Amino acid sequence: MIALLILGTGGAVPTIDRSPSAAWLTIDGRSLLVDPGPGALVRLVRSPHGPATLDGIDAVLLTHLHLDHCADLAPLLFALHSVVPQSRHLLQIIGPRGLAAYLDRLRDLYGDWLTPRLRPLEVLEVAGGDALEPDDDGRWAVGRARGPTVLEAFRVEHGEDRFSAENLGWLARDRDGRMLVLSGDTGPCRTLEAAARGADLLVVECSTPDELAVDGHLSPSRVGALIAAARPRRVVLTHLYPAAAALDLPALVREHASADVVVASDGDLFEVFGGPPPLPEPRKAHP
């Protein structure tokens, strides 16, 4: 079973009803905080669908190191240095190559203030194509993805930043074979199309209207082209800057592909569950 609590559906600029990126992903009982953008921690503990305290966070999963996707990482570590949190469980921070160097630079500024007081910390850098599985204790490790519960990273098209040459999207597969795909920030790319093929739920960025489209991001016609090629079962649009949020995005996307498309709001919970995926339609015999 997969559940995604979307904590922030805006871009880098917060608005009154859309915060920057953040989500709480649960796969077969294992939960990860995804892309903790500014304010993510407050929104997480306030949500009735998330953990009540930071002790409930066992892993952080990052798509890339832009601040609207990771600004609350330092506040999380700073909070875990205090005497309030009581968990002694391993905290994993999983993200693209360059993540360790990014955290080293933060420690240059803050020193031990960013060392959790009670919790061991593991930084796991992954590359597009890597797959992760949890062990019995819930610790994620790069493996051969033989188990039923899997996270797979794929490279997306979002340029380079100071710390990381590779930006990632994530595919989550549960023990029933259900698939959730998170695009992260990306322009059109084959790797996203391949990951989204047949996904039960595709959560995809739609940053701008078509007339304001920029490199490294998607717009309604670009999302429509992706859906036409990959044919996911359901589509959720997120990472909306104000000009995009003002539009009827599902209608604009459906001009390019027929699909079950909705716009996410902050706090929405999406679930993907059930038994094995449905069997393909039986082929009609030729007359």
Residues lying near Zn ion in the complex (CB under 5 A) are found at 66, 185
Considering the complex, what minimum distance in angstroms separates the CB of residue 189 from Zn ion?
Answer: 14
Shortest distance, CB of residue 211 to Zn ion, whole angstroms? 21
Nearer to Zn ion, 150 or 153 (CB): 153
Our CB check for Zn ion shows the closer of 67 and 262 to be 67
Please list, in sequence order, all residues whose beta carbon lies within 8 angstroms of the beta carbon of residue 279, skipping any fewer than 6 positions away.
none
Taking the least distance from each CB to Zn ion, the nearer of 174 and 185 is 185
Nearer to Zn ion, 72 or 185 (CB): 185
CB of 198 to Zn ion, least distance (A): 26
Cβ of residue 241: shortest distance to Zn ion, in angstroms? 12
Task: Tell me how far, at minimum, the Cβ of 66 lies from Zn ion, in Å.
Answer: 3
DSSP string, the chain: -EEEEEEE-B-SS--SS-PSSEEEEEETTEEEEE---TTHHHHHHHSTTS-SSGGG--EEE-S---HHHHTTHHHHHHHHTSSS----S-EEEEEETTHHHHHHHHHHHHGGGGS-SS--EEEEEE-TT-EEEE-TTS-EEEE---SSSEEEEEEEB----SS-S-EEEEEEE-TT--EEEE--S-BS-HHHHHHHTT-SEEEEE--S-GGG--TTS--HHHHHHHHHHH--SEEEEE-B-HHHHTS-HHHHHHTT---EEEE--TT-EEEE--SSPPPPPPPPPP-
CB 162 → Zn ion: shortest distance, Å?
12
> Which of residues 131 and 226 has its CB atom nearest to Zn ion in the complex?
226
- Nearer to Zn ion by Cβ, of 54 and 181: the residue is 181
Q: Compute the least distance from the CB of residue 77 to Zn ion, in Å.
A: 21
User: In this complex, which beta carbon is closest to Zn ion, that of residue 166 or of residue 185?
Assistant: 185
CB of 217 to Zn ion, least distance (A): 8
Whole-angstrom Cα distance, residue 65 to residue 96? 8
Of 6, 14, 11, give the one whose Cα is nearest residue 33.
6
Report the candidate in 182, 102, 134, 185 with the shortest Cα–Cα distance to residue 29: 134
Q: Tokens standing for 175?
A: 């023990």
Considering beta carbons, is residue 43 or 66 the nearer one to Zn ion? 66
